Amino acid sequence: MIRIKDIAEKANVSTGTVDRILHNRGRVAEDVRQRVLEIAEELNYKPNLLARALVSNKTYHVAALIADPSEDSYWQAPKEGIEKAEDELKQYGIRITKFFFDPVDADSFSTAANKVVSKAFDGILIAPLFYRQSLAYFNKWRRENIPFVLFNTHIPDYEPLMYIGQDSYQSGLLAGKLLHYGCSETATLAVIHIEEDILNSSHLIHKEQGFKDYFAQDGLANRYEILQIDLQSNSQQTIPQQLNHYFKSAGNINGVFVTNSKAYIIAEYIQQRKLQHIKLVGYDLIERNLHYLNSDMISFLINQNPKGQGYWGVQALADHLIFKKKNNPIKYLPLDIITKENLHYYIEADS
């Protein structure tokens, strides 16, 4: 590793002079500046950013705007990922303040986002579940040059520092392929959104579109009927009553794709009504989903690596703020297909 001392010796100047030139502070004669910079380039000098960060004593305040795990257990994993990253980066001055919102309440999201805006943060990690409500905050942070990283939901038009998560459209295509395996020549399949504001949730729209596009390809379009079902617990009917209506009116539904982490709700319904012929695909390794995966009520789970989303989101902000490292604007996480046969490998890896 080339040191400042090596450059100073070759340029016949002091290490202090080299330090001032490389860090652009203090007055130095122009001919000396040019000579030192040329030698640094010739020697391929790379600054030790880790050491520099350790001695800077600067504190970087980061806001994490995430859904409340007490409202939806899925969000416990991103929270743990954020806390793991903070623990690793605290020696470099990272300090994180978490702001929670109800994942089914847009007003709750806005209230939490306003708290973020009311304080001075160096960077922001956000799960923008509510598309319309998020845009004004994106514009404000861009005007103020505050870097923000998105996870879980990709909204690319507002130039975040990075998006970390899955490719929602591709995961919908994958769900379609998984349900297609083992289906009869003709089948009725349902895309089910559970307790979601669909028109305000771009990632769910992309999942559904990917699923539909899989069955729109040549040779499948005329053989598979795709239903779109939106279930809300605050309607006049319970979710099981709503499902009774849809299953009765649709006739024989052969497969179900649940676009969020609530596949266990459909699995419980299938089990209670002894509809074991229905193949079910959903997302996420939460405890209730794992129960039904192991009992064969859920055929496949697509792992979205929520802990990794939180962890890498904080790391991306640290790379930008502390280490001045430029990353790609998108970090897609793998589309892991989980069955009861390979589940224990993922559980062990995360423990």
pLDDT in tens, 206-240: 999 999 999 998 889 889 999 999 999 888 899 99
All residues at 6 or more sequence positions from 250 whose CB lies less than 8 Å from its CB, including other chains = 188, 190, 227
What single-letter amino acid sits at 295? S
- What sign for the dihedral angle of Cα 234, 237, 239, 242? negative
DSSP letter string over 187-249? EEEEEEEES--GGG-HHHHHHHHHHHHHHTSTTTTTTEEEEEEEE-TTSSS-HHHHHHHHHHH
Query: CATH 3.40.50.2300 region(s) of the chain?
Result: 58-166+306-332, 168-303
pTM to 2 decimals?
Answer: 0.83
pLDDT at residue 162 greater than cutoff 90: yes
Q: What CATH number is given for 4-47 in this structure?
A: 1.10.260.40
| pLDDT value at residue 221 | 86
pLDDT in tens, 14-70: 988 988 888 777 788 889 989 998 998 888 876 665 556 655 678 999 999 999 999
Query: Three-state DSSP class for 296?
Result: coil
Query: Three-state DSSP class for 86?
Result: helix
Query: Three-state DSSP class for 159?
Result: coil
Q: Max Cα separation, the chain?
A: 87
170-201 burial, b if ≥16 CB within 10 A, otherwise e?
ebbbbbbebbbeebeeebebbbbbbbbbeeeb
Beta strands 336-338 and 300-303, pairing class: antiparallel
Question: What distance in Å separates the CA atoms of residue 112 and residue 20, rounded to the nearest whole number?
Answer: 43
What single-letter amino acid sits at 141? W
| pLDDT value at residue 234 | 83
Q: Cα angle at 253 between 251 and 256, to 5 degrees?
A: 150
- The CATH number of domain 168-303 is 3.40.50.2300: yes
| pLDDT value at residue 20 | 85
Q: How many CB atoms lie within 10 A of CB 212?
A: 18
pLDDT in tens, 109-151: 999 999 999 999 999 999 999 999 999 999 999 999 999 999 9
pLDDT in tens, 288-344: 999 999 999 999 999 999 999 999 999 999 999 988 888 899 999 999 999 999 999
| pLDDT value at residue 54 | 58
| pLDDT value at residue 116 | 98
* Portion of the chain with pLDDT greater than 70, in percent: 96
Q: Which of 3.40.50.2300, 1.10.260.40, 3.40.50.300, 3.60.20.10 would CATH assign to domain 58-166+306-332? A: 3.40.50.2300
| pLDDT value at residue 321 | 93
Average pLDDT, the chain: 92
pLDDT in tens, 72-93: 999 999 999 999 999 999 988 9
| pLDDT value at residue 185 | 83
Question: What distance in Å separates the CA atoms of residue 349 and residue 305, rounded to the nearest whole number?
Answer: 11
Query: CATH 1.10.260.40 region(s) of the chain?
Result: 4-47
How far, in whole angstroms, is CA 148 from its chain's centroid?
A: 13
Instruction: Identify the band that residue 269 occupies on the pLDDT scale cut at 50, 70 and 90.
Output: very high
